[in-house]
Copies of this chain bind each other. A is one copy, B any other.
Amino acid sequence: MTKFAKYLPALTWLKHYQGADLKNDTVASIVFTIMVIPQSLAYAMLAGLPAITGLYASILPSILYSLFGTSRSLAVGPVALTSVMTASAVLPFAVSGSEQYASVAILLAFLSGVFLLVLSLLRLGFLTNLLSHPVISGFISASALLIVIGQLKYLLGIQSEGDTLLPLVSSLFAHLGDINLPTFILSVSSIASLLLMRRYFINLLKALGCSDSFVQLFGKSGPVLVVIAATVTVATLSLDNMGVSIIGAVPNKLLGLNIEGISWDMIKALFPSAFLISIVGFIGSVSVAQSFAAKRRQDIDPNQELVGLGLANIGSAFSGAFPVTGGFSRTVLNTDCGSKSPMTGIISALLILLTILFLTPLFYYLPKAILASIISISMMQLVSVEDLRNLWRFSKKEAYLLIITFSVVMIEGMETGLIAGVILSILFFLWHTSHPHIAIVGRLPGTEQFRNVQRFSVETNPSILTVRIDENLFFANARVFEERLQSLVSQDPAIRHLILMCTAINMIDASALQSLEKIVDRLADSNVKLHLSEVKGPIMDRLKQSSLLDNLSGQVFITQHQAIQALETKQTNE
């Protein structure tokens, strides 16, 4: 059972699942389903697909994640970031709205799913760590801003094209004369109502004397009411005849993968996008899952999450939909509705299926401007200046990293921006480690502690130089380290012993070993002995595999204190 449970985490919670839980989860699922529908429709529109595919993407993926994922709270389905990344990945291959477009989006979901499974199989989840905090922050802010600008065409009822700042803005300006007044009024009033609802709806319900449990259940249903009100308004006033764009009739068949339109070259060309979408989706999802797990003292297994999300994406592809992942706002909704287990994911999936089968006519008059309003408001919350301000205080360099990522995303697009950010993070890190902090240390009087001579008043011995290298020794700094030691020793002819204090060395690679061997040789020529102290266990094991210790002119001491005592005693005896 435990072995099965590792691969099918649902077994763990299903074991203790009882009738009362089912009752609770069913109520939660009904409310959740009603509230999540507008969001799902909106994100499908963001992906450039018919709004209904947002519902397709909420059935199989949600069930598969509930069975194979390790989070008890996470809600999986269409999410803003991966949806807009889908749009910008698919656009080069097909015209928005065409069958080919849907095929490519489906293929993308499939490839993303496969990538996630491969990452899990090869235990390559660590690759997701490459996205550093400043890069993610810059990426999210810029993408959210781009999304909002991209929604302006729906909010204003005009044409516009492009998925980066300049084309978007210039195309918006070119069509600024075509603003559709009814659409504009609808947008302004829906944005205003959404903002007001967010701030005052709960208080209003309380003031109206609703029970606490009712307020908790429906406190966030503001968007649903706005959607209903707008749809009814459009239908009764026939605003669609006055240029207001509506969802319209929903195709009664699933979109499928059109195999004929797919070539191996296209698959190869989609690889990078699929990879980035799966990584970005995975990181976002795991961080949401972890923060909810911490609140409930539960555990998340990142490797199994790759499986859960991978299967969810493959499920989405087989549903004729686009890449999905675990979303923050979906998960908040899910918890607010009182979900206690992944069973809500399964029940709400079934409810959405019923909706598709019987209720799609209700969406006929739903205006696109309302969905755009919902998207815009939730995206504006993701644009964070606060983050930049904190970073600026902590590290200018990382703040620049955020700014650069932000700018490249805005100007060159999401993928280029993300890749540029990752490459820069790595280069910044390598630059840092290739300029290692090397401290000359001495003994704190009366202790066995050794500290930087520049920061503490410590005792030193003129013929013994102790150098603490505050960095791993590896290819990026091996040559620098070699040069620095040579110049330190050459500055003072009194030095007879050089002790390398290795407290901070966690890794030595072959390049550093080569440098160490050169240093031993060169110091021997200048009659200086090289000693090592405080070498960590794993490093010592490693050095024993090389010939360095055989050729070492000095000794290896466990502690720096012992090293100084031994060398000073030797000196007195000489």
Contact = CB atoms under 8 A, between A and B. Distances in A.
Given A132-B511, A432-B507, A545-B394, A475 B425 contact: yes
A130 B433 CA distance: 11
A435 interface: yes
A471 B514 CA distance: 22
Nearest to A504: B504
A470 B506 contact: yes
A437 B506 contact: yes
A205 interface: no
Interface stretch (A98-106, A157-165, A266-274, A448-456): A448-456
B478 A546 contact: no
Contacts of A536: 437, 470, 504
A245 B398 CA distance: 60
A331 interface: no
B537 A131 contact: no
A477 interface: yes
A178 to B, nearest CB: 39
Given A448-B448, A537-B452, A434 B129 contact: yes
Contacts of A302: 483
A376 to B, nearest CB: 27
A299 B489 CA distance: 13
A522 interface: yes
A275 to B, nearest CB: 14
Given A393-B546, A448-B447, A510-B391, A132 B429 contact: no
Given A294-B522, A431-B126, A522-B294, A511 B452 contact: no
Given A429-B474, A504-B503, A126 B434 contact: yes
A126 B395 CA distance: 21
A561 B435 CA distance: 30
Contacts of A471: 472, 506-507
A511 B395 CA distance: 11
Contact of A559 (B437, B449, B487): B449
B509 A395 contact: yes
Interface residues of A, number: 69
A480 interface: yes
A544 B486 CA distance: 34
A431 B511 CA distance: 17
Interface string A494-532: 000000000111110111011000100010010000000
A262 interface: no
A367 interface: no
A430 interface: yes
Given A394-B513, A447-B448, A537 B455 contact: yes
A442 interface: no
B129 A509 contact: no
A181 interface: no
Given A393-B546, A449-B448, A129 B510 contact: no
Nearest to A482: B290
B449 A132 contact: no
A269 to B, nearest CB: 19
Interface string A445-481: 0011100100100000000000000111011111110
Contact of A126 (B435, B448, B511): B435
Contacts of A129: 430, 434, 475-480
Nearest to A561: B449
Contacts of A559: 447, 449
Interface string A384-408: 0000001101110010000000000
A60 to B, nearest CB: 29
Interface string A286-322: 0000000010010100100000000000000000000
A133 interface: yes
A482 to B, nearest CB: 8
A182 interface: no
Interface in A2-36: none
Interface of A: 126, 129-134, 294, 297, 299, 302, 390-391, 393-395, 398, 425-426, 429-437, 447-449, 452, 455, 470-472, 474-480, 483, 486-487, 490, 503-507, 509-511, 513-514, 518, 522, 525, 536-538, 542, 545-547, 559, 561
Given A126-B435, A129-B477, A425-B475, 10 more contacts: A130-B430, A132-B475, A294-B525, A426-B426, A429-B474, A429-B475, A433-B507, A436-B506, A437-B536, A471-B507
21 contacts: A126-B435, A126-B476, A126-B480, A129-B430, A131-B475, A132-B509, A133-B510, A297-B490, A390-B546, A394-B510, A394-B513, A395-B510, A395-B542, A429-B474, A437-B506, A437-B538, A470-B506, A471-B506, A503-B503, A503-B504, A504-B505
